[in-house]
Structure 1
């Protein structure tokens, strides 16, 4: 019996606020569920401004308040290969969703969608705001990634060989 690994990529604009937080929180959910071998998690940005940089210190601090460490992540830009490498490419907002869809090759296998797809709601960019914005993002990401994990768990069926 072979378990197929699911690969999930979270995407925001610069990959220093929302998507690193989503990556860290989702990875935390995955670890709590004992699914580290079955689910691979990463994050990226649609823009390259922060490539190679650590997440925004406010994202790091917000994650730490909730027992999640994202301090070792490094920003990277969404790449063409990601559309074949990842099963899910999860956008934090409609603008980035549009940018991801525009970059996607005509034929790809990725499920591209919003994190808060059911509500058709954006995870707001907290970069230019106060620290409370990061707490709001954490709450939205926590709930959205938990729901995503439940969806993936329902979809993951062992394949017999």
Structure 2
């Protein structure tokens, strides 16, 4: 595994997954891995394609000095399974939708190959919650940022281990 590619997925790709993309990208830069690990985000829905992150997400990222420059929402497609090593879903409904889209795009001998699909909160089992709450509905962007920040630290550890194991 020379380069690692990570895709964060939520419903509309304007709140949780772009927040995770920006935070993870920032952590990769700090760790000197930004040329080795690529990161992107997508949504399972198509309502916000081409839109920048939600104002609440932008405010949280601005408070922390984290760039989201150039980020625009896009929709997840089954072929993303071939392009990424990790597909990190922000909730269990997103995970179900992602797995269905992958199953529809992958056939025969390719079944079971591709990205590792996981839920974001599986990185933080001690929190005792299975889904990252959607701040589009709750308005609780600061709490979501706390979860994303901590979970991205754990994901960074996992990616570092994968990189070490591939050398």
TM-score by shorter chain over 0.5: yes
Q: How far did residue 158 of structure 1 move? A: 6.9
1:63 to 2:61 alignment: yes
Contact 1:63–1:69 under 8 Å retained in 2: yes
> RMSD of the alignment, in Å?
1.5
Q: Counterpart of 2:5 in 1: which secondary structure?
A: strand
Structure 1 residue aligned with 2:43: 45
Which residue number in structure 2 is paired with residue 149 of structure 1? Answer: 156
Structure 1 residues 5-20: aligned runs within 5 Å = 5-20=3-18
Alpha-carbon offset, residue 104 of structure 1: 1.1
* Residue 115 (structure 2) aligns with: 110
Find the partner of 1:138 among 145, 148, 159.
145
The CA distance in 2 between the partners of 1:128 and 1:36, in whole Å, is 32
Looking at structure 1, the residues matched to 166 and 26 of structure 2 have their Cα atoms a distance apart, in angstroms, of 26
| Equivalent in the alignment of 1:129 | 138
SS of residue matched to 1:54? coil
**Gaps (5+ residues) in structure 2?**
none
Structure 1: which 5+ residue stretches go unaligned?
none
Structure holding more helix per residue: 2
Structure 2 residue 18 is the aligned partner of structure 1 residue 28: no
Q: Secondary structure at the match of 2:87?
A: strand
Q: Can you list the C-alpha shifts for 1:52-98, whole angstroms capped at 9, x where unaligned? A: 01110110011110111214200000012211000000000011011
Task: Tell me which residue corresponds to 1:101.
Answer: 99
Work out the number of aligned pairs and report it. Answer: 156
Query: TM-score under structure 2 normalisation?
Result: 0.88
Q: TM-score by structure 1 length?
A: 0.91
